[in-house]
Amino acid sequence: MGPGGIATIIAASSLLVIAIAISYAVVRFGRLIDEAKVSLKTMTDDASPLIEEVTTTVTLVNGPLRSLNRITKNAEEVTAKATDVASSFLDKGGPAVKALGMILSAAQMKKSHSRKKRAE
């Protein structure tokens, strides 16, 4: 056996070791994929009831939120109407200004009337 035969045996042994390493890696990777598949199936099976419960919870919460929305819209309408009434009541020449003018003139008349009585 010459140097070419020894080189052939070394090359064949090296290829055998490489083939064994590659097959080991492929088997391990296959097991990893199988475990990932099982984990994904378990997670999917567990997530389906959870999603249904979340959907039910959201549906139950939406009912009171709708009624709260109606209440706030009604409160907004009442506030807008009260603002309109107050602004029209307090406008120039509005009822508040006329009432205030009457009260002031009555107070001035009373003061002048009481001064006249004291003077007499």
Give residue-wise pLDDT tens across range 64-100: 999 999 999 999 999 999 888 877 776 766 676 778 7
In the prediction, which pLDDT does 93 show?
66
Provide mean pLDDT across the span 105-111. 81
Separation between Cα atoms, residue 50 and residue 33, nearest integer Å: 25
- Token output for 35: 């475990």
- At 13 the pLDDT is 95
Instruction: Supply 106's token pair.
Output: 């009555």
Supply 19's token pair.
């083939």
Is the pTM for the entire model greater than 0.75?
Answer: no
Q: Does 62 score more than 80 pLDDT? A: yes
- d(Cα 44, Cα 71) in Å, to the nearest integer? 40
Q: Domain total for the chain? A: 1
DSSP symbol at 120: -
> Would the CA dihedral through 7, 13, 15, 21 be positive or negative?
negative
Name the average pLDDT for the chain. Answer: 86
For residues 89 and 95, the answer to whether their CB atoms sit within 8 Å is: yes
Domain hosting residue 38, numbered range: 3-119
C-alpha distances in Å from residue 80, one per residue of 21, 67, 83, 93, 96: 80, 20, 5, 22, 19
pLDDT of residue 117: 63
User: Buried b vs exposed e over 62-71: b needs ≥16 C-beta within 10 Å?
Assistant: eeeeeeeeee
